[in-house]
Structure 1
Amino acid sequence: MQQADIHAAAQTLLSRRLNNRMTGPLKAECRPNSVSDGLAIQHRLLELMTQQGNPVGGWKCALPIAVDGLTDVPVVAPIFSDSIYTTSPCPIIADEGWCKIEPEIAFCFAQDLPHRPTPYTEQEIVAALSGAHLALEFILSRYLQPDSVSFIEHLADCLFNQGLFIGPEISLEQAFQASTIELTLTTASTPEVQHFAGKHPCAEPLLPLFWLVNFLRQQGIDIKAGQQVITSSYAGVIEIAPGDYFTLSYEDLGEISLAFTQD
């Protein structure tokens, strides 16, 4: 892609974010045709958001995947600072009439890990962490028909991320060992209790974190102290009715109680 087309694609995605609008696919000339195109648009969007006073506050990631006939495709996207919340109620945009969340664990960095020529070791990455939290990722596509859009076009638009809620702190040891979590959801609107057999897709929650740090290093991007990183959902997408107060219990790790306001 030409730099002008990358910039135009990022400007379109920025406008959708700032105006809370969902529209169709990007124009043909602005549509990414490769993983490098998708990452270039995502990086330009990151720059534009930072210029708006909204820098990166965290990252979402998973281990690379095979998708759309491609192999070893990176699963990575920035989470912007003004979309990270710690108090209830917090704003959310409903998607198809539902508030969509994914249960996660967020790892917080206490130290910068600037990009450098040599890889970071697992020991260095763990030593840079300050702790971990129960977390919820807020899910929203800015494409009207997301199933018709390629993965790399979603990659350009930060992979469905709408925001992140940071819940109670847990120990790093608890987070490292959390390969499975029995999740229990209760809501104010119904007496029914929902149970989810939560399982981390990678078995070890730290593996995507190790991958992320060195992938960003190769891209010339620094990890900053205070940034939160989520490494995949334990139960896919969970739908909550707008305005409903709910509690999501993470077995013996704690719980998140939250209400949403419509943004």
Structure 2
Amino acid sequence: MRQADIQAAAKVLVDRRLNNRLTGPLEPPFRPSTVDDALAIQQAVIELAEDSVGGWKCALPIEIDGLKEVPVLAPIFTESVYQGSCCSMNTDEGVCKIEPEIAFQFGQTLPRRPQPYTDQEIVAALSGARLSLELIQSRYLDPDSISYFEHLSDCLFNQGLYLGPEISLEQAFKASEIEFSLKIGSISESVGISGKHPNIYPQVPLFWLVNFLRERGRGIEAGQWVITSSYAGVIEIPTDKVFTLAYEKLGEISLQFELN
């Protein structure tokens, strides 16, 4: 793609994000057709967003549309990271959509460098982990009709991150499967949800992300958070209800969203 088209695509995507506009696909000249196109637009979105990168979402590379090793990553912007009793949310199809995850925080910067980081170096740079919710929203009217590359450009459905209770890194590293219990409202019965990390353990995509960013000339900054895929897909929450999501033996998140 031409640099002018990359910038034009990014401006459209940033406007949609800032103004909560749902529209159709990008105009043909602005649609990415390769991984490099998509990541170039994503980088331009970062530069135009008037917000810093507070973290990243990621998973191990996937096979899609006949292509192998397609990266899964997107920035999470600082102003969309919440904790405590406050969490702003845009609805998606009339409900609040979340994904239950574990978030890792970096206490030390891992700057870009020529040689790869070892798993041990990455673990040593971590300062902790928390139960978390990825806040999900499609900014397309018909997301199923949009190519993966275009979704990648638009940060893969991410609208933010909610940080719940702290857990130890040891607990996080062992969390391959989690049984969840969801209670919505004050009188409803709890619903059980079986969860399993799609990449076996949540730290595995974390190790991949650090070195993928390094290869593209980026580092990880101290204070940034990383989430590494949902244990149970997307969960829909009514807009006007307090809900409690319990993570088996790890803790729980209890919250009511503040709608934008």
Q: Name the TM-score class by shorter chain.
A: over 0.9
Provide, for residues 26-67 of structure 1, a one-character-per-residue CA deviation record: whole Å limited to 9, x for no partner: 000000010110000001101112xx2x10000000000001
The whole-number CA distance in structure 1 between the counterparts of 2:18 and 2:199 is 34
TM-score of the superposed pair, with normalisation by structure 1: 0.97
Shift of 1:163: 0.5
The amino acid of 1:226's aligned partner reads G
Shift of 1:91: 1.0
Superposed counterparts of 1:1-263, under 5 Å = 1-49=1-49, 52=50, 54-188=51-185, 191-263=188-260
Shift of 1:111: 0.3
Tell me if the contact between 1:103 and 1:233 (Cα under 8 Å) persists in the aligned partners.
Answer: yes
The amino acid of 2:207's aligned partner reads F
- Secondary structure of 2:122 counterpart: helix
Runs of 4+ deviating beyond 6 Å: none
Count of aligned positions: 260
Provide, for residues 138-184 of structure 1, a one-character-per-residue CA deviation record: whole Å limited to 9, x for no partner: 00011110000000100000000010000000000000000001000
Unaligned residue ranges in structure 2 (runs of 5+) = none
Shift of 1:89: 3.5
The whole-number CA distance in structure 2 between the counterparts of 1:132 and 1:255 is 14
- Secondary structure of 2:108 counterpart: coil
Tell me if the contact between 1:113 and 1:222 (Cα under 8 Å) persists in the aligned partners.
Answer: yes
The amino acid of 2:28's aligned partner reads A
Tell me if the contact between 1:184 and 1:195 (Cα under 8 Å) persists in the aligned partners.
Answer: yes
Tell me if the contact between 1:46 and 1:78 (Cα under 8 Å) persists in the aligned partners.
Answer: yes
The amino acid of 2:155's aligned partner reads C
- Secondary structure of 1:195 counterpart: strand
Unaligned residue ranges in structure 1 (runs of 5+) = none
Provide, for residues 2-41 of structure 1, a one-character-per-residue CA deviation record: whole Å limited to 9, x for no partner: 0000000000000001111111000000000101100000
The amino acid of 1:223's aligned partner reads I
- Secondary structure of 2:230 counterpart: coil
- Secondary structure of 1:4 counterpart: helix
The whole-number CA distance in structure 2 between the counterparts of 1:110 and 1:77 is 20
Shift of 1:87: 2.0
The whole-number CA distance in structure 1 between the counterparts of 2:62 and 2:242 is 35
- Secondary structure of 1:192 counterpart: coil
The whole-number CA distance in structure 1 between the counterparts of 2:65 and 2:186 is 40
Shift of 1:190: 5.2
Output the aligned Cα RMSD.
Answer: 0.8
The amino acid of 2:4's aligned partner reads A
